[in-house]
Structure 1
């Protein structure tokens, strides 16, 4: 994808169709979180395609409400960390013209 700043190379396992619950319980906090990323979900089990896509659209609009958003203002030497089990991450820019160094670190077991 020419619009991406990074090259994503998923494994065969990552490309395989998987089933996941809509609601996940965070293992440390015990809080419920809506799970899913609109760009990767292809349907909803036990729903016809149109109904499933309508539900997914509704859930995505809920997840991305302004009231739930944190927007970071980048500065030199910034380190930002988040827990993907509890957030929906979306890069929105704001760093054009600056060199960026990104390192992904995965800590702990899979949720």
Structure 2
């Protein structure tokens, strides 16, 4: 990186990297299989998204947004986004909800067989 002002010019001897950050995500809760969108900065080289210790399926990533699917083994807690320049961890927890229940089915009493 080079900085120039009225006093002169200075060039950094090493590369300058912007660390990733996650500024928000939506939705804030959902069952496994939910698609979650994380917004932030320097997210374009995202390689991994974790919900607790569970690795998510990465849907898409660009400099300001990452989309991932909550894995079946996810745990309630912060989301970790890993890029080539480091990790970003959400300030708030994503709440993993139980799976959506299937509707109950009932049988008429006359359909039952007694022994």
Give your verdict on TM over 0.5: no
Q: Taking structure 2 as the reference length, what is the TM-score of the superposition?
A: 0.23
Q: Taking structure 1 as the reference length, what is the TM-score of the superposition?
A: 0.23
Q: Which has the higher strand share?
A: 2
Bigger relative contact order, structure 1 or 2 (CA pairs below 8 A, ≥6 apart): 2
Instruction: State the structure with more CA Rg.
Output: 2
